[in-house]
């Protein structure tokens, strides 16, 4: 028991009066550990010299290699641009129709257009173009078009924007018609999708629609709407974008209360213009981006 082993201690010891001094040994560290430790120090010093490392008061040490994350990103972007250039050049010079006939270019335009749509259009039209009735933002995935569903027409709409002018009709909102007349018009509009509740009201509403109220001037004699730059086969100077009232696809809503609201107060949906040369809400896209997003919207399934 009393045999003392000769060991190197730090001189620190606990429990002195117990007879078994509890001592702190001073064993050497294992070699492998020590060398790894030195290696990390060398590594750190080499790293400080080569790479950005230490913050200074207004700057930081840049390192001898001149590397930076930002620089690497720039390089990768430049690389991507070089790869995209031939595609972009073709997109720029080819017509929209030709682009849709070139599968590779079409795919490229659609994927670029999709990203642009997500950034700029989805807040109103919903991601994927599913629209929003609350805001009167049209669905872009069906084949019901307010303004135009051809690829050229879609391109025009995006470039120049469109402001819908559906006037208010109820006297209280500045229109020219009394409450009962608006009710008759509501019944007539309901009848276009076979949901009328009062035949006499429908007859009176039809008279107003094609007569005094002149709804047909925008929505067409049969409520067919004024898309495709024609009204009843007649070319129009400027697209009104009045919705088709017969197809059970609604911009704001097809229930009686919403139809009444549309007719009484009017509606003024605003599609901003995106072309850099246009006035208005400050939303601008390059010509190339507009082309890509037009191809994308046309591809959503409802393109004509």
Site residues (vs ligand HEC, CB under 6 A):
117, 120-121, 123-125, 136-138, 140, 145-148, 154, 157-158, 162, 164-167, 169, 185, 189, 209, 213-215, 217-219, 240-243, 245, 250-253, 259, 262-263, 267-272, 274, 293, 297
Smallest distance from ligand HEC to CB 210, Å = 10
Residue 90 or 150 with smaller CB distance to ligand HEC: 150
Smallest distance from ligand HEC to CB 138, Å = 5
Residue 36 or 268 with smaller CB distance to ligand HEC: 268
Rounded CA-CA distance 189/219 in Å is: 11
**Radius of gyration over alpha carbons of the chain, in Å?**
36
Rounded CA-CA distance 37/76 in Å is: 36
Smallest distance from ligand HEC to CB 87, Å = 20
Residue 21 or 118 with smaller CB distance to ligand HEC: 118
* Nearest Cα to Cα of residue 285 among 116, 129, 145, 170: 116
Smallest distance from ligand HEC to CB 215, Å = 3
Specify whether the CB–CB gap between 248 and 144 falls below 8 A.
no
Block residue for tokens 């400027």 = 238
* Nearest Cα to Cα of residue 244 among 283, 192, 209: 192
Block residue for tokens 């402001």 = 163
Residue 108 or 250 with smaller CB distance to ligand HEC: 250
Residue 105 or 170 with smaller CB distance to ligand HEC: 170
Contacts of 19 (CB under 8 A, 6+ apart): none
Specify whether the CB–CB gap between 166 and 268 falls below 8 A.
yes
Block residue for tokens 């850099």 = 276
Residue 142 has which token pair? Answer: 């069906």
Smallest distance from ligand HEC to CB 81, Å = 22
Residue 86 or 301 with smaller CB distance to ligand HEC: 301
Smallest distance from ligand HEC to CB 249, Å = 7
């Amino acid at each position: 028991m009393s045999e003392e082993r000769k060991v190197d201690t730090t001189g620190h010891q606990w429990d002195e009066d117990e007879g078994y001094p509890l001592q702190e040994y001073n064993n050497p560290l294992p070699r492998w550990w020590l060398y790894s430790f030195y290696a990390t120090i060398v590594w750190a010093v080499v790293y400080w010299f080569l790479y950005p490392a230490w913050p200074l008061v207004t700057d930081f040490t840049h390192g001898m290699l001149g590397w930076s994350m930002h620089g690497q990103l720039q390089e990768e972007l430049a690389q991507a641009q070089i790869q995209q250039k031939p595609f972009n050049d073709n997109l720029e010079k080819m017509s929209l129709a030709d682009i849709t006939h070139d599968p590779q270019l079409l795919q490229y335009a659609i994927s670029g257009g999709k990203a642009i749509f997500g950034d700029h259009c989805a807040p109103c039209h919903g991601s994927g173009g599913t629209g929003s009735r609350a805001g009167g933002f049209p669905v872009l995935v069906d084949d019901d078009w307010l303004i135009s569903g051809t690829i050229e027409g879609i391109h025009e709409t995006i470039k120049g924007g469109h402001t819908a002018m559906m006037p208010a009709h109820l006297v209280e909102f500045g229109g020219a018609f009394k409450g009962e007349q608006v009710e008759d018009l509501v019944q007539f509009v309901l009848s276009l999708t076979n949901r009328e509740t009062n035949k006499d009201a429908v007859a009176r509403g039809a008279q107003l629609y094609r007569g005094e109220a002149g709804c047909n001037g925008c929505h067409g004699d049969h409520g067919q709407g004024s898309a495709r730059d024609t009204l009843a086969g007649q070319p129009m100077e400027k697209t009104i974008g009045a919705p088709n009232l017969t197809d059970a696809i609604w911009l704001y809503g097809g229930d009686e209360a919403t139809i009444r609201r549309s007719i009484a107060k009017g509606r003024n949906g605003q599609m901003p213009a995106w072309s850099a040369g246009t006035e208005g809400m400050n939303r601008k896209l390059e010509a190339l981006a507009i082309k890509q997003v037009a191809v994308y919207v046309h591809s959503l399934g409802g393109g004509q």
